[in-house]
Chains A and B, each alone.
Chain A
């Protein structure tokens, strides 16, 4: 089945530690996205990518970094500079950036602080 796979499902971070969240898609989509979801709130855009080796900051990029070395993969690193990283992180993809084609989401990674 085509879809988006996020791993791990749960992740714990120690103070001062960087952690990387994985996102892989086999939908042959060009565009990929990372969102942060806090309880009772909507989705906030962290980073997005139109194509391999290209990515842009979203609304809340500070303390995060990404890479897009392959079309299928768009990992997100939560750095130690992100002081409030506890949240539910969602990866999404769509056929093209800035088109009206729907975004499709993975099942999320819940990040907590130890």
Chain B
């Protein structure tokens, strides 16, 4: 079946630093989604991308839909303590179920 890879698996950064993470697949997708999950909570949608090459921002977050349609990137600028959590990507291909990545665990050091 389809699988998504996320890197890095985990990361520790200093408050104020910028963060980059990515999601890759051997399959193409029509839509990429990025979610954030706080401990003990459900994932919350951050950004949705619907077109290859699309670059979308949500506050300090910026995500891009790779032009090959096989990858996506999420950047967080000027990280703050509440950015701590697990960031999941999800790929969607028309007519099929969502595929979720294993997540990138972000820790922010004060």
A residues near B, CB below 8 A?
4, 6, 35, 40-43, 45, 48, 58-59, 90, 92, 98-100, 102-108, 110
Contacts and interface: CB of A to CB of B under 8 A. Distances in A.
Contacts of B78: none
B88 A98 contact: no
For chain B, the bracket of interface size reads 20 to 34
Given A106-B42, A107-B42, A108-B42, A100 B31 contact: yes
A89 B94 CA distance: 25
Contacts of A4: 42
A interface: dominant SS: loop
B70 to A, nearest CB: 16
A110 B92 CA distance: 27
Contacts of A107: 40-42
Given A98-B97, A110-B40, A104 B102 contact: no
Interface in B17-41: 30-31, 33, 35, 40-41
B interface: dominant SS: loop
B77 to A, nearest CB: 23
B45 interface: yes
A41 B97 contact: no
Interface of B: 1, 4, 30-31, 33, 35, 40-45, 48, 50, 88, 90, 92, 94-98, 100-103
A48 B97 contact: yes
Contact of B97 (A45, A90, A106, A110): A45
Contact of B102 (A6, A41, A106, A108): A41
Given A106-B42, A107-B42, A42 B101 contact: yes
A102 B90 CA distance: 9
Given A42-B100, A105-B44, A98 B95 contact: yes
Given A42-B88, A43-B88, A103 B98 contact: yes
